[in-house]
């Protein structure tokens, strides 16, 4: 009898083929398993393939008496109770490679739409018969020569930097520490206050941790240029949404484009009515190709660890 792997969500089955050759898969008949169903099923499973927008709480983990690994479908893993996983010495993995390029693509799409008012003009033309055209109407901002400040220079941040340089942007970045192997000789490391003050665009690519929770709030928005744009494709709670809504309303910054939110799927109501806020429903990795590749990467984590005892995408390295 094969060991069992619990799949929490109906992700593309094309990516599960190899995993199915090694293990018996418990796959939801509907869109996802409820918390109660997970607690009932997980005691029989050696692995859990979870999804980034569904909580893996302490009581789910504690019910997994035979659980050895949680492979999270997504780069973020703040949906998992890491303390509970560490206490039970359960390996936690993510899927950083599959999500990199599509998230960077969306980031650039949001930046272009925001800076050139693409979404706003589209909405105006479709909803307002008197929407004004003209040489000096609907003026946006060009990207060439502007400074893009990247907060979190991991794989996605680096991919965004590469793409932005093609548009002629200058790159500044903030990390916990400078990246010695960074390949762009013109990319400048800055402390966060300097980055906020000097950048024309701020793009967030950091994980959500206690240190980055509400990293940007009223105090930080006041440091930014009034002409600056803010892009967030990382995690919603890195920004204080209430403070951002006020900053946009009062013209402290020029605009914001958000793919992620503090309390998804709930969005701060002022962001839904603010013309300078562009919002999309967490679609950073939402392409069919990426969803399949994420399935494969999440499955590979499980296969590598349970067959060979190692996996390159482990995220709780330091705890046991």
Catalytic residues: 235, 264, 282
Length of the chain: 320
Q: Residue 219: helix, strand or coil by DSSP?
A: helix
Q: Which long-range contacts (CB under 8 A, 24 or more apart) does 83-90 make?
A: 83/58, 84/57, 84/58, 85/61, 85/316, 86/316, 86/319, 86/320, 88/61, 88/62, 88/64, 89/320, 90/61, 90/64
Q: Are 149 and 203 in contact (CB under 8 A)?
A: yes
Q: Are 106 and 279 in contact (CB under 8 A)?
A: no
Going by C-beta distance under 8 Å and a sequence separation of 6 or more, which residues neighbour residue 263?
236
Q: How far is CA 212 from CA 176, 263, 273, in A?
A: 11, 16, 27
Rounded CA separation 91/94 (Å)? 10
């Amino acid at each position: 009898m094969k060991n069992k792997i619990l799949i929490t969500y109906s992700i593309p089955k094309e990516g599960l083929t190899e995993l199915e050759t090694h293990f018996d898969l418990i796959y939801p008949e509907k869109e996802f398993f409820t918390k109660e169903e997970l607690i009932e099923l997980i005691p029989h499973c050696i692995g859990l393939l979870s999804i980034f927008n569904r909580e893996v709480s302490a009581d789910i983990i504690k019910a997994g008496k035979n659980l050895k690994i949680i492979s999270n479908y997504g780069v973020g893993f703040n949906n998992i109770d890491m303390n509970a996983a560490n206490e039970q010495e359960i390996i936690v993995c993510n899927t950083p490679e599959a999500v990199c390029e599509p998230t960077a693509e969306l980031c650039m799409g949001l930046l272009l739409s925001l800076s050139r008012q693409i979404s706003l003009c589209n909405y105006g033309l479709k909803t307002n018969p008197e929407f004004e055209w003209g040489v000096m109407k609907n003026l946006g901002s060009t990207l060439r020569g502007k400074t893009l400040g990247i907060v979190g220079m991991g794989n996605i941040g680096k991919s965004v930097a590469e793409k932005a340089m093609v548009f002629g942007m200058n790159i500044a970045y903030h990390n916990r520490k400078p990246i010695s192997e960074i390949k762009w000789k013109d990319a400048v490391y800055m402390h966060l206050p300097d980055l906020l003050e000097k950048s024309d665009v701020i793009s967030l690519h950091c994980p959500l941790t206690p240190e980055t929770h509400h990293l940007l709030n009223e105090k930080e928005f006041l440091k930014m240029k009034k002409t600056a744009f803010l892009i967030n494709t990382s995690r919603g709670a890195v920004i204080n949404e209430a403070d951002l809504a006020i900053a946009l309303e009062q013209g402290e910054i020029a605009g914001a484009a958000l793919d992620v939110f503090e309390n998804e799927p709930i969005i701060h109501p002022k962001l839904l009515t603010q013309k300078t806020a562009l919002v999309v429903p967490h679609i950073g990795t939402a392409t069919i190709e990426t969803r399949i590749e994420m399935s494969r990467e999440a499955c590979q984590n499980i296969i590598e660890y349970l067959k060979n005892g190692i996996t390159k995408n482990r995220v709780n390295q330091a705890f046991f």
